[in-house]
Structure 1
Amino acid sequence: MSADRLDFTVPSKGRIGEQTMAMLARCGLAVSMRSPRSYAGTVPALPGVAAHLQRASDIVEQVRSGNADLGITGRDILAESGAGSDEVVILWDDLGYSRARLAIAVPDAWVDVVSVADLAEVALELRGGGRALRVATSFPALTRNFLIEHGVYNLRVVNTSGSVEAAPSLGSADIVCDIVETGSALRQNRLRELPDGVVMRSAACLIGNVAALRADSAKRELAGRMLEYVEAHLAAAEAYTITANVSGASPEAVAASILGDLDLSGIKGPTVSPVYEKSGQASWYAITVTIARDRLIDAVAHLRSAGAASIIARRVDYLFGESSAAKARMLEKLGIGE
């Protein structure tokens, strides 16, 4: 970690690595690597930010130890690490990708096991036979805590990396606790998820080193700017800007017709300006409104009812508010006033 820059770690491999790079690019924070084989680069939109590629599983420790100021990893990995809030702060808890759940799954052949309570009974039966219920997982702490909290005491956690789902068929475990997105890997290995066996839900998150961000205002400023890019882009994903021409007697009359449905008249209301026709008359006005994505067709219908023509809808790249709620949350978590 350098005193004159903000060190930012991102996943180097796998789906989370690809999705992270794509998300950052969409946010305007594209990472530029020094060379195709390099593990270091920059974020041109934010001079002073140095990017480093690391395994997602190592990023929490890099941030906790102070080797990195910020990092992107999974909430599941963060929870498993046991990093305290006095060491690592979550700056954005769901970046919109790598969403999954850590869940308990049992063999299809265990037809009588339909809940975690049933697992507790199986564990007791196994104790009578002199052995424990074996659980394969890459998340031993989370798995053990969840099962014990749900009354499954006679267990042995088999710490497994790689294809956790294969452990029961290989005979190295009885059940698994693994990351599930679609469930296809479980089905392929003749496993099924228990409905009440969800340990936690996960997503990619942005984390920061508490001590570094508290101590260095320059690092906080860069972190705040990064948060603003992310916040504005994710907010814009739910918005469209609509422009149209509307005939009316005056700007006030046009605005009144658009404001006839407050839910479809924009965030604060329509922007209205005259259209200067070639004829020299100004009976047409251009209006602009920003609408939630799921209300787009409703908004178009409303504008048509108000006499609109030439209606154009565009996706929004960024939607900034009067201030950054994400930056304010960061400062609050760090215990720093504006």
Structure 2
Amino acid sequence: MTETSSSVASPRRSDRLDAAEFERLVGLVRENVRSVVEGKDEQIHLALVTLLAGGHLLVEDVPGVGKTVLAKTLAASMSATVNRIQFTPDLLPSDVTGVAVYDQVDRRFEFQPGPVFANVVIGDEINRASPKTQSALLECMAEGQVSVDGETHRLPEPFTVFATQNPSEMEGTYALPEAQRDRFMVRMSMGYPSREAEYGMVASRDGGDPLRRLRPVVSADDVRRMIESAATVYMAPAVGQYVVDLARATREHPDVRVGVSPRASLHLVGAAKANAAVSGRDYVVPDDVARLAPPVFAHRLVLNSRGSRPGGSDGEAVVAQILQRVPAPTAA
């Protein structure tokens, strides 16, 4: 499969962000994050792709491996409004979205925005809050708005949620509802660093926390324009059909009780376009889809008893099997 195939390429459109400027801005953000998060190029790439696809990112792993550091570093690389929400069992939905407060002087209710009103919202340990509070983010993440007392309040643009969570089997966690998981475009794990990366991390702390020295390298408007540019990347009909075929295959797999939703198909299209843009192309190739299918699809699958028993398939294994079975489009 070649990336210059005429079946997937298209002439560059004139209304998008200049390619050289797009590449420069992506490089600035990537290097800024690398200066703090060492040895995690794939995770940084996935975080960038999610951001530029206008999606939301869920990072799941054991405590202490850099989940929150990655989210904070990416947020600090942007000159944008950033709020962090520490999710706890006693957190209320209104603590996230805001609440209408009665003004005794004007004798009317006035909406006081919650921390979700920011360009970047860092939701730390999201699965330590109750499902009711987790659900407060559903409308925010899907529609970019908050409805309180019959009034709708738009969130700023761009708007993205970087959430972290500990594995569900750890003490004090609640499983994210399926509807909540479906709002996250990408889920990924950090994993333990390599020996070299861990030593570099230890050595870099001799001069203090490198995150404190970080400075923004792009503005919120830059990010908005990059998101708009990535959305214009061309996807050939054959590649779009490949996305649909992969999604439908999850609904027919013997280990899966509930396959991915149509929203997941749209998320995979957006992520594949952003991956192509970050890779310097103005068209999507099947490899973009195959690369992003596991982090976009796996966390949305609900496995049946056969798939969830010890030794059975997990979500990643199911998606890997589907990628092997569903033929990718080839050059005409």
Q: Which TM-score band (shorter chain)?
A: under 0.3
Bigger strand share: 1
Of structures 1 and 2, the one scoring higher in RCO (CA 8 A, sep 6+) is 2
Compare the two structures and name the one with the higher helix fraction: 2
Q: Normalising to structure 2: TM-score of the pair?
A: 0.27
